[in-house]
Amino acid sequence: MSKRGDFEAVRKDIAKLMHQPEYDDGSAGPVLVRLAWHSAGTYDADTDTGGSNGAGMRYEAEGGDPANAGLQHARVFLEPVKEKHSWITYADLWTLGGIVAIKEMGGPEIPWKGGRTDYVDDSKLPPRGRLPDGAQGSDHLRFIFYRMGFTDQEIVALSGAHNLGRCHSDRSGFEGAWVNNPTRFSNQYFRLLLSLQWRKKRLPNGVEQYVHYDEDSEAELMMLPTDIALTQDKSFRTWVELYARDKDRFFEDFSKVFSKLIELGIVRDEDGKVTNADNERGGYHA
Ligand code: DDH
């Protein structure tokens, strides 16, 4: 048990659980990043519903959304950290887990502040269907991400997270990793999007994705239809090209936009204190 509000101690314990020899590519990192993103990516700016406040994925309505299949692994990885630092809210822990994982995998430092609540406000619950569907194209990407208040540039920067981790046919129906080293954060995803020939492949389960057979590693790399859409849309493509040639710019923009993502729906006063989290019922102010 650490002192209430000692987020440094929590960060250290999250960093320690990154190495998971029995899991996927030996790292808990990618799935922790996806947990942070899905906890926040339900936000709707118009109705001010969804977002990371409330940690709604603990409950069936949100946790059982097929879009969240597999994220229980990330929640289980973090559970010992919650047990040890019981003062931290799940909403803070899940977002902090993502940014610690990105840093541990060689990514940028991402600004993070605590203060999210675990109180579930029924009037703020997101309906299912708010997270993106990889089988779609650029119209869908804009529909989903404009709803959260992101621009085309931010959509492309966020998509660079697909440099990490992999698809699992028993979770999303898609299969494989985007890059050869999926536990090292870089701009490789953008470089491969532009430099390789991607051909459409129908998997045995009927799902269609794009693949490239890499001779060096003798591995098949993959892209989702939504990833390929970033190269086909003029406005998106400009940013893919920039991030493919300028890794520092990608790191800088990714840091800003991921930080914006995990703050969606959180209102703070000038001292950074959250003003729209119900503390009485399960929240904690740093
Ligand atoms: Fe993603 N993502 N994602 N993604 N994502 C998947 C895996 C991972 C889409 C679909 C999928 C973002 C955007 C999109 C990560 C981070 C981020 C999988 C595979 C699918 C499908 C799941 C599975 O089978 O286990 C689509 C569509 C979009 C979009 O429309 C833009 C964003 C914005 C992020 C982010 O973090 C900012 C990560 C990391 C993974 C790897 C997870 C793992 O277990 O490994």
Query: Which of 162, 172, 181 is the best mutation target for the ligand 1 pocket, counting ligand atoms within 8 Å of the beta carbon and taking the most?
Result: 162
Q: What is the pLDDT of residue 285?
A: 42
**Cβ atoms 88, 72 nearer than 8 A:** no
8-state DSSP, 202: E
8-state DSSP, 36: H
| Nearest-CA residue for atom 22 of ligand 1 | 167
Pocket of ligand 1 (CB under 6 A): 30-31, 33-34, 37, 70, 132, 134, 141, 158-159, 161-162, 164-168, 171-172, 174, 224, 226, 258
Residue scoring higher pLDDT (276 or 141): 141
Q: Which residue has the tokens 């000692």?
A: 6
CA of 189 to the centre of ligand 1 (A): 13
Q: What is the pLDDT of residue 205?
A: 96
Tell me how far apart the alpha carbons of residues 32 and 82 are, in angstroms, rounded to a whole number. Answer: 14
Average pLDDT of 79-103? 97
Query: Which of 37, 148, 261 is the best mutation target for the ligand 1 pocket, counting ligand atoms within 8 Å of the beta carbon and taking the most?
Result: 37
pLDDT greater than 50 at residue 284? no
Tell me how far apart the alpha carbons of residues 280 and 174 are, in angstroms, rounded to a whole number. Answer: 42
Q: Is 164 exposed, middle or buried (0-12, 13-18, 19+ CB in 10 A)?
A: buried
Q: Is 214 exposed, middle or buried (0-12, 13-18, 19+ CB in 10 A)?
A: middle
Directed axis angle between helix 152-159 and helix 225-232, to 10°?
A: 140
Q: Which of 209, 247, 201, 242 is nearest to 228 (CA)?
A: 209
Residue 128 structure tokens:
């299912």
Average pLDDT of 91-118? 97
Q: Which residue has the tokens 């995990």?
A: 262
Average pLDDT of 239-255? 98
Share of the chain above pLDDT 70, in %: 97
Q: Please, what is the average pLDDT of the chain?
A: 94
Active-site residue flag, 94: no
Which residue type sits at 176? G
Q: Which of 278, 285, 261, 279 is nearest to 39 (CA)?
A: 261
**Cβ atoms 265, 50 nearer than 8 A:** yes
Q: What is the pLDDT of residue 73?
A: 97
Active-site residue flag, 178: yes
- Could you tell me the pLDDT band of residue 123, with boundaries at 50, 70 and 90? confident
Tell me how far apart the alpha carbons of residues 216 and 150 are, in angstroms, rounded to a whole number. Answer: 37
Domains and CATH numbers, the chain: 7-131+259-281 (1.10.520.10), 138-253 (1.10.420.10)
pLDDT of 150-201, one tens digit each? 999 999 999 999 999 999 999 999 999 999 999 999 999 999 999 999 999 9
